[in-house]
Amino acid sequence: MEIRHLIYFKTVAQHLHFRNAADALFISQPPLSRQIKELEEELGARLFTRNNKRVALTDAGKYFLAQVHTILASLEESKHTVKQIHEAESGDLKIGYISSLYQPHMAGVLKAMRINFPHVKTSLYERPTVKQIEALEQGKLDVGILRAPVHSDKLKVHSLFFDPFMVVMPSGNGRFKNYEELAAQIKNKPFIFFNKEYAPHYHSCLLEICNRLGFSPTIVHEANNVHSILQLVEAGLGISILPLSVKNENASLSFIPLDKIPVKTEVVLAYRPGPGNTALNWFVKNYPK
């Protein structure tokens, strides 16, 4: 028994007319009649009663028709799923990330993905949290690395880590006995912060840290990229407060941890779950925490 036998049988059962069924299948009537006869012989049962004027399903034919509907529907679903899996294993995985992401983690998981999914193309998009959530909901991104909170009932969210903050200053200004000395040194300095509309929750965290240190910052420059902020600080245009995870070996900058101040930002992975996306599921499972 082959798939074509099932399709021929279903078509005859729908038309209850061999000539019309043959026309619908774009074959002549004799081969169609022969295929139905072969099917009946294999099943050991008559599927149709037929005479010169009428074709009708037997009880066995009615039962078999219901089974054929199920089989063909299952086949179509399987074909669709196979296509989804193929596209997930050979298509384009669109990944969003925030500018303050610790890059070695991303690089490591992308190297491993290249080994496991050599035909998957990864496309990286630097986006703020608000824009990532919107793009994830609309299917423009497959997965995002962003900062909590993520308010969306369409997305699944995995916590990666909690990131404390640090003060970033030009080199040579990084020695303080306590936070009181630090606050006295920086409270009158010009500050460089993220734009409030770009990262509202982030912005409020930074203001809270300054308030806990006993002052309100004077913000003179705003930027939408952590690397731009670091460059502005390095150029002597002000100081900033950034996540500790972006600390680097730049000799032109001093980094003062604020790990004793109980204000942290949560870095999360968010995605819109769906069936058959093997590469996405692998990325979610293997991204470092």
The residue out of 88, 121, 141 marking a domain boundary is 88
- Clarify whether residues 103 and 39 are in a common domain: no
- Clarify whether residues 131 and 188 are in a common domain: no
The residue out of 88, 113, 145 marking a domain boundary is 88
- Clarify whether residues 197 and 63 are in a common domain: no
CATH number at 206 reads 3.40.190.10
Q: What is the pLDDT of residues 273-282, one digit of tens each?
A: 876 678 898 9
- Clarify whether residues 107 and 69 are in a common domain: no
- Clarify whether residues 152 and 272 are in a common domain: yes
Q: Following DSSP, what letter does each residue of 32-79 receive, concatenated?
A: HHHHHHHHHHHHTS--EEE-SS-EEE-HHHHHHHHHHHHHHHHHHHHH
On whether the CB atoms of residues 167 and 192 are closer than 8 A, the answer is no
Which residues constitute the domain of residue 210? Answer: 165-263
Looking at residue 261, its pLDDT comes to 93
CA distance 155 to 153: 6
In this model, does residue 268 exceed pLDDT 90? yes
| Largest Cα span, the chain | 105
Q: Following DSSP, what letter does each residue of 108-157 receive, concatenated?
A: HHHHHHHHH-TTPEEEEEE--HHHHHHHHHTTS-SEEEEES----TT-EE
Looking at residue 88, its pLDDT comes to 56
User: Distance between alpha carbon 217 and the CA centroid of its chain, in Å?
Assistant: 37
Q: What is the pLDDT of residues 110-120, one digit of tens each?
A: 999 989 888 88
Number of Cβ atoms within 10 Å of the Cβ of 210: 20
Mean pLDDT of the chain: 88
- Clarify whether residues 169 and 246 are in a common domain: yes
In this model, does residue 82 exceed pLDDT 70? yes
Q: What is the pTM of this model?
A: 0.64
- Clarify whether residues 220 and 184 are in a common domain: yes
CATH number at 29 reads 1.10.10.10
The residue with greater pLDDT, 12 or 173, is: 12
The residue out of 36, 62, 88 marking a domain boundary is 88
- Clarify whether residues 242 and 205 are in a common domain: yes
Put residue 196 in one of left, alpha, beta given phi > 0 → left and psi -120 to 50 → alpha: alpha
The residue with greater pLDDT, 36 or 92, is: 36
- Clarify whether residues 68 and 118 are in a common domain: no
| Cα angle 266, 271, 274; round to 5 | 155
- Clarify whether residues 117 and 179 are in a common domain: no
SS3 3: helix
Q: How many distinct structural domains can be found in the chain?
A: 3
**241, two tokens:** 């407060």
Q: What is the pLDDT of residues 119-160, one digit of tens each?
A: 888 999 999 898 999 999 999 999 999 999 999 999 999 999
- Clarify whether residues 241 and 272 are in a common domain: no
CA distance 286 to 283: 5
Q: What is the 3-state secondary structure (H, E, C) of 188-232?
A: CCEEEEECCCCCHHHHHHHHHHHHHCCCCCEEEEEECCHHHHHHH
- Clarify whether residues 280 and 147 are in a common domain: yes
Looking at the chain, the whole-number percentage of residues with pLDDT higher than 70 is 96
On whether the CB atoms of residues 139 and 274 are closer than 8 A, the answer is no
In this model, does residue 85 exceed pLDDT 80? no
